[in-house]
Amino acid sequence: MLSRVTLAVITATVAVLSLACSRNAPPGVATATPPPKFPDLNAFQAVDAAPYTAAARAGGAAYFATPDGLQCILPNPPKPGDHVSASCDGPLPGLPDKAPVGSDGCSEVASPSSLPTDLNPYSFQKGTGCPIITSPLLNVGQKLTKGDITCVVGADRLTACIDPILNRGFVLQSAGSWTF
């Protein structure tokens, strides 16, 4: 028979683990720790997704533009709990030397197939042209969440998106852009 002290320790451990695993995730789904250089999501002000969501466009996806001329999309998951891939296109800052760049200087960061349900690692791809900006502006210091994806816009051309449950995303910045 277990002693009271042992039961108390087990109960406390389960409570702490349950709290840690439930942070920003649906019940029963653990969140991964973002990469060390990923921006602190808590340092950005949340905005309401409604003004950025277009019901007739891509099944209710959220679209935003950045002050430096990028246009990004956060697709609407096909069903609750599904994960999707964000994407941004335009004059991406800080691309790695081997990243393909379109002839007009515009590129895209997206899933390899560019399908929102493709959860393979993000990659940099040649753009099909610089976007015509038609989306509402997400200002520096703001963040937008749709489904499981949160994107932030910061100073010095920073745009970063993450799915914290899958620990999957990208960081676009002048000092060097990268995916994970």
pLDDT digits 0-9 by tens, 136-169:
999 999 999 999 999 999 999 999 999 999 999 9
Question: What is the C-alpha separation between 51 and 7, in angstroms, rounded?
Answer: 50
Domain residue limits at 3 = 1-30
Question: What is the C-alpha separation between 106 and 100, in angstroms, rounded?
Answer: 9
pTM of the model: 0.77
Number of domains in the chain: 2
Answer positive or negative: Cα dihedral of 27, 30, 36, 38.
negative
Q: For residue 160, give every residue at least 6 positions away whose Cβ sits within 8 Å of its Cβ, in sequence order, or none.
A: 38, 39, 151, 152, 154, 169, 170, 171, 172, 173
Domain identity same for 54 and 21: no
The confidence score (pLDDT) of residue 60 equals 85
Domain identity same for 9 and 58: no
**Confidence label for 3 from pLDDT (cuts 50, 70 and 90):** very low
Domain identity same for 106 and 41: yes
pLDDT digits 0-9 by tens, 38-89:
999 999 999 999 999 987 665 789 999 999 999 999 998 888 888 899 999 9
Domain identity same for 54 and 131: yes
> Do residues 125 and 150 lie in contact, with contact meaning Cβ atoms separated by under 8 Å?
no
Domain identity same for 53 and 90: yes
Pairing of strands 142-146, 45-46: parallel
Domain identity same for 92 and 131: yes
The helix, strand and coil proportions of the chain, stated in percent and rounded to the nearest 5, come to 15, 25, 60
Domain identity same for 100 and 123: yes
Chain mean pLDDT for the chain: 81
Domain identity same for 44 and 22: no
